[in-house]
Structure 1
Amino acid sequence: MSSLALSSPVEQQIVLHQFTPRHSVQARAMLGWSREDFARESGVDAVTIQRFEGQHEVNDETRLTLAFRLEAEGLVFFPGFAPGWGMSVRGGVAVSTAPAAKGIISRFLDSTAVSIDPKTPQPNGV
């Protein structure tokens, strides 16, 4: 999501909780962006980005602007983890920016497929 106008208050609160100063530094490194590059791309002053990345307070709108700009490049953010590549929408077509890894849910379902197969005998005659 790259527009504050398109995001709901709930989405904004989620982003504010998930996007940290460390994420900003890591995401810039992943993109090969300097602070000045990020400032140009986001429309946020480089000094403000430096303040945010230095663990100083910035207003919520600025923080959302930074997060949404990085998300527009295909990055996703989760508390306690480095940024990762998600989906990027460019030219109206969703394009994966990295190979899709099998998620934990998919791995779990694959590992239990045999135990829920109706052809497999179940305990107690079920």
Structure 2
Amino acid sequence: MASQAMKITLERIALFQFTPTHCAQARAMLGWSVEELSREAGVSVEAIERFEAKREVLDVTRLTLAYRFEAEGLVFFPGFAPGRGMNVKGSTPNPMARADFAMVE
């Protein structure tokens, strides 16, 4: 049960730390268009555009985007532009393999 509580805590932290501005900045860092991020993360173009426009998306969609960028070695902190982790890869290298991926927009 403790591992489930830890998972929920880490997801809440990721949701707090990953902002719409981070999404656009991370795409720019990687040279990805919205369409490319859509293909890479398995999230619809419309959901990405909604998120970057600071409109509502499902939490699982936000997590999928954050984890996809983390898989590229990016890290996110509130108030700062995304940065590259030192030899760190994300906690979910393949967001599409998550059990809740079917909920993504």
Which blocks of at least 5 consecutive residues in structure 2 are unaligned? 1-5, 90-105
CA distance in 1, matches of 2:71, 2:52: 19
Say what the alpha-carbon RMSD is for the aligned residues. 1.5
2:60: which partner in 1? 61
TM-score normalised by L of structure 2 = 0.77
The 3-state SS of whatever aligns with 1:56 is: coil
Structure index of larger Rg: 1
Aligned residues between the structures = 84
The residue type equivalent to 2:21 in the other structure is: R
1:47: which partner in 2? 46
CA distance in 1, matches of 2:73, 2:79: 19
Q: Does 1:14 align with 2:17?
A: no
Report the Cα offset of residue 88 of structure 1: 4.2
Report the Cα offset of residue 25 of structure 1: 0.1
**Bigger RCO (CA 8 Å, 6+ sep):** 2
Higher helix share: 2
Report the Cα offset of residue 12 of structure 1: 0.1
The 3-state SS of whatever aligns with 2:80 is: coil
The 3-state SS of whatever aligns with 1:15 is: helix
Higher strand share: 1
TM-score normalised by L of structure 1 = 0.64
Deviating 4+ runs (over 6 angstroms): none
Q: 1:12-49: per-residue Cα shift (whole Å, max 9, x none)?
A: 00000000000000000000000000000000001110
